[in-house]
Amino acid sequence: MRLLAVVAASLLAHAACAQNAATLFEQAQRLEHGEGVVRDLSQAAALYCRAARLGAPAAQYALGWMYANGRGVPHDDGVAWRLFALAAEQGDAAGERMQALLPAAPGVALPSCMSPDPALELDLAFPIPDYNAATPQLLALVDRLAPEYEIEPALALAVIAVESGFNRTAVSPKDARGLMQLIPATASRFCVRDAFNPEQNLRGGLAYLRWLLARYSGDVTLATAAYNAGEQAVDQYGGVPPYDETRAYVRRIGKLYGKAMHPIAAAAPERCMHQMAIRARR
């Protein structure tokens, strides 16, 4: 089955740090220059910083350039010098040139986004789920439904794994139900009559996930943070809310999916999709 290969690739993706850094850098470039996406300098800087933290010299240089020019981040020559110095230490010629042009600032702190991730400590409390719990029937259902909503099956499966551990009858303390853990309000919003019906649950969850990906321009971290904590919380904090559960949640999905960005589709209407519910009841 095609999805089985996707699952295997997703489980290995989080170990490939160099490839992940390259993907982050590529997406940051697209956001910085508005190539196929809405130009967003602050999000570009955030992605550059994540790649820089993984040790990518090109990202360290690019983030240094943004600090040197106040693009998406406050202008700070000291921070820029530190970042150029990091790139230069790895043999980046452009970083070495820019470092020489700025006053030395070895005592200036790097951006906070390059500090060790406190969420690392949450991995023991929130382990990665076991994909062996997914039945062939569920894999086939995800493989069939996810493309209808222009969602990559690997992302859909990652959300299901973290939300319910592939348990179709799961119920959370907040009354979130089924495979994609739909609370009653979200189920009603996307016309799910029976949240324990696997197809209806997946259709409702996929519709909501697609809407969130469109809202956050394909940023998987923001979209999944909103799936967990609500888009209002993400908007209020300007990013992932400072909740341990949400931080662990997006980290686990990131490990399983292995991509920072998802192809962006037009958002489905944020309303009850009656034709979807009718199909699901057949």
The model's pLDDT over 30-78, given as tens digits with 9 standing for 90+, comes to 889 988 878 889 989 988 998 888 788 999 999 999 999 999 999 999 9
Residue 111 has pLDDT above 90, yes or no: no
Lowest mean pLDDT among 186-190, 235-239, 241-245, 272-276: 272-276
Residue 86 has pLDDT above 80, yes or no: yes
- CATH fold of the domain at 131-281: Lysozyme (1.10.530)
Q: Which amino acid is at 24?
A: L
Phi-psi region of 230 (alpha: psi -120 to 50; beta: other; left: phi over 0): left
The pLDDT value recorded for residue 9 is 43
Residue 111 per-residue DSSP state: P
Q: Which residue has the higher pLDDT, 121 or 138?
A: 138
Cα distance between residue 200 and residue 214, in whole Å: 21
CA distances from 149 to 160, 176, 178 (A): 15, 21, 19
The pLDDT value recorded for residue 160 is 96
Residue 282 has pLDDT above 50, yes or no: no
The pLDDT value recorded for residue 7 is 47
Q: Which residue has the higher pLDDT, 119 or 100?
A: 100
The model's pLDDT over 254-272, given as tens digits with 9 standing for 90+, comes to 888 989 999 886 665 555 6
Lowest mean pLDDT among 25-39, 137-151, 154-168, 208-222: 25-39
The pLDDT value recorded for residue 53 is 81
Q: Which residue has the higher pLDDT, 129 or 5?
A: 129
The pLDDT value recorded for residue 76 is 95
Question: CATH 1.25.40.10 occupies which residues in the chain?
Answer: 16-115
The pLDDT value recorded for residue 209 is 96
* Contact call for residues 108 and 78 (beta carbons, < 8 A): yes
At which residue do the structure tokens 């400072």 appear? 242
3-state secondary structure of 171: strand
The pLDDT value recorded for residue 16 is 36
The pLDDT value recorded for residue 147 is 94
The pLDDT value recorded for residue 66 is 96
At which residue do the structure tokens 């170990």 appear? 15
Cα distance between residue 12 and residue 256, in whole Å: 8
The pLDDT value recorded for residue 198 is 96
Cα distance between residue 255 and residue 276, in whole Å: 31
* Contact call for residues 66 and 52 (beta carbons, < 8 A): no
Give the chain's mean pLDDT: 83
pLDDT band at 14 (very low <50, low <70, confident <90, very high): very low
One CATH from 3.30.300.10, 1.20.120.420, 1.25.40.10, 3.90.1150.10 for 16-115: 1.25.40.10
The pLDDT value recorded for residue 279 is 42
Question: CATH 1.10.530.10 occupies which residues in the chain?
Answer: 131-281
At which residue do the structure tokens 């979807």 appear? 276
* Contact call for residues 277 and 202 (beta carbons, < 8 A): no
**18-40 average pLDDT score:** 81
Q: Which residue has the higher pLDDT, 243 or 179?
A: 179
Residue 124 has pLDDT above 50, yes or no: no
**170-182 average pLDDT score:** 90
Residues forming beta bridges with residue 183, ordered by sequence position = none
* Positions marked active-site: 163
Neighbours of 144 (CB within 10 A): 13
Half-sphere exposure of 252 (CA within 13 A, CB side): 27
**85-90 average pLDDT score:** 88
